[in-house]
């Protein structure tokens, strides 16, 4: 399609009026894209037609604009058109962004809630463990204080260690007693006593001028048993008595004794 034919056939005018076939239009546009002079000529024709239109304009009633405004509002909301489609796409795009943000926020909140619950559980567990540790610490402190007391008592220079060895009735029994006349205390380690049946018990006695005075029961298997200090005791004696002890010693059940 040459330039002369385009002008003589009135293709430019027909293009402006919109009466070209699609094939003719495509051919013309192809030529226009390469021929600046022809394109300029077409732009002049466009301006001419526009000028004719403006010179013959008729003012439409004002209500048409209001009707158009209403129609465009409706068009935009019912999404029937490409333009309203793009508007609603924009709108739905914004809604998608908002929904995504809301979902992220909800997920974030849920995650925070789960984390918070986990933290709360961890905190409760820690609290329980702390309480247990505190109890153990208190026990250890008590144990330490007791051990320290025993150590102090046993290693006190005033404490006199006495070793009691079992006689023929209980040859394997060994007992250590610490007598402190200054602090008036008696500590006994009964780990070396032979264990007794449940219905019998060991009992220690102090011999004062021929009279046996009760110092207390002596459970076996203990390394630190405080007993009653008896003034002017001459010897310490251990007998086997019925469970709960006796008021007077059963002399024939004497298993060991030591003189002070």
Partner 1 sequence: MSKAEFYHIFNNAMGEETTDLFLIERLKSGDKNAMFPLYDKYSGALFGVIVRMCRDRELAEDLLQESFIRIWEKIDTYEPDRGKFYTWAYRISRNTTLNHLRKSSPLIQQEDLSVYKDREDDMSNESSDQLYGVIKKLDAHHQKAINLVYFMGHTHQEAHQIMDVPLGTFKSYIRQALLKLRTIRSELYFILIAIEVLANG
Contacts with partner 1, residue ranges (CB under 8 A):
7-10, 13-19, 29, 42-61, 64-65, 67-69, 71-73, 75-76, 80-84, 86-87, 90-91
Least distance between partner 1 and beta carbon 98 (Å): 17
> Residue 171 has which token pair?
């040859």
| Between 39 and 174, CB nearer to partner 1 | 39
169: left (phi over 0), alpha (psi -120 to 50) or beta: alpha
Minimum distance, C-beta of residue 36 to partner 1, in the bound complex (Å): 13
Identity of the residue, 58 or 198, whose beta carbon is nearer to partner 1 in the bound complex: 58
Question: What's the token pair of residue 103?
Answer: 């979902």
Does residue 39 sit in helix, strand or coil? Answer: helix
3-state SS, residue 249: coil
Q: At what angle do helices 22-34 and 36-55 cross, to 10 degrees?
A: 120
Backbone angles phi, psi at 62, to 5 degrees: -65, -30
Nearest CB to partner 1, comparing residues 61 and 195: 61
Q: Which is nearer to partner 1, 53 or 157 (CB)?
A: 53
Rounded distance, CA 187 to CA 198, Å? 23
Smallest separation (angstroms) from partner 1 to the CB of 57: 3
**Nearer to partner 1 (CB atom), residue 71 or residue 143:** 71
∠ CA 144-148-151, rounded to 5°: 140
CB of 68 to partner 1, least distance (A): 5
Nearest approach, Cβ of residue 61 and partner 1 (Å): 6
CB of 12 to partner 1, least distance (A): 9
**91 versus 176: smaller Cβ distance to partner 1:** 91
Beta carbons within 8 Å of 255's beta carbon, 6+ residues apart: 166, 167, 169, 170, 173, 202, 238, 239, 240
């Amino acid at each position: 399609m040459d330039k002369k034919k385009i002008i003589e056939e009135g293709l430019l005018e027909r293009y402006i009026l919109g009466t070209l076939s699609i094939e003719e239009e495509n051919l013309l546009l192809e030529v226009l894209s390469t021929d600046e002079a022809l394109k300029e000529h077409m732009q002049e024709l466009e301006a001419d037609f526009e000028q004719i239109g403006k010179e013959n304009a008729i003012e439409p009633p004002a209500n048409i604009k209001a009707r158009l405004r209403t129609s465009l509002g409706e068009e935009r909301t019912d999404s029937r058109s490409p333009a309203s489609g793009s508007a609603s796409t924009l709108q739905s795009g914004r809604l998608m962004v908002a929904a995504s943000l809301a979902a992220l926020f909800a997920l974030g909140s849920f995650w925070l809630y789960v984390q918070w619950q986990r933290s709360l559980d961890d905190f409760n567990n820690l609290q329980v463990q702390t309480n247990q540790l505190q109890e153990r610490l208190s026990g250890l402190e008590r144990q330490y204080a007791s051990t320290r007391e025993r150590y102090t008592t046993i290693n006190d220079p005033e404490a006199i260690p006495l070793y009691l060895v079992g006689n023929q009735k209980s040859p394997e029994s060994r007992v250590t007693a610490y007598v402190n006349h200054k602090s008036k205390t008696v500590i006994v380690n009964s780990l070396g006593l032979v264990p007794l049946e449940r219905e019998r018990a060991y009992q220690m006695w102090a011999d004062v001028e021929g009279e046996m005075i009760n110092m207390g029961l002596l459970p076996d298997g203990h390394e630190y048993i405080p007993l009653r200090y008896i003034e002017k005791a001459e010897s310490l004696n251990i007998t086997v008595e019925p469970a709960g002890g006796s008021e007077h010693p059963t002399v024939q059940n004497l298993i060991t004794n030591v003189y002070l």
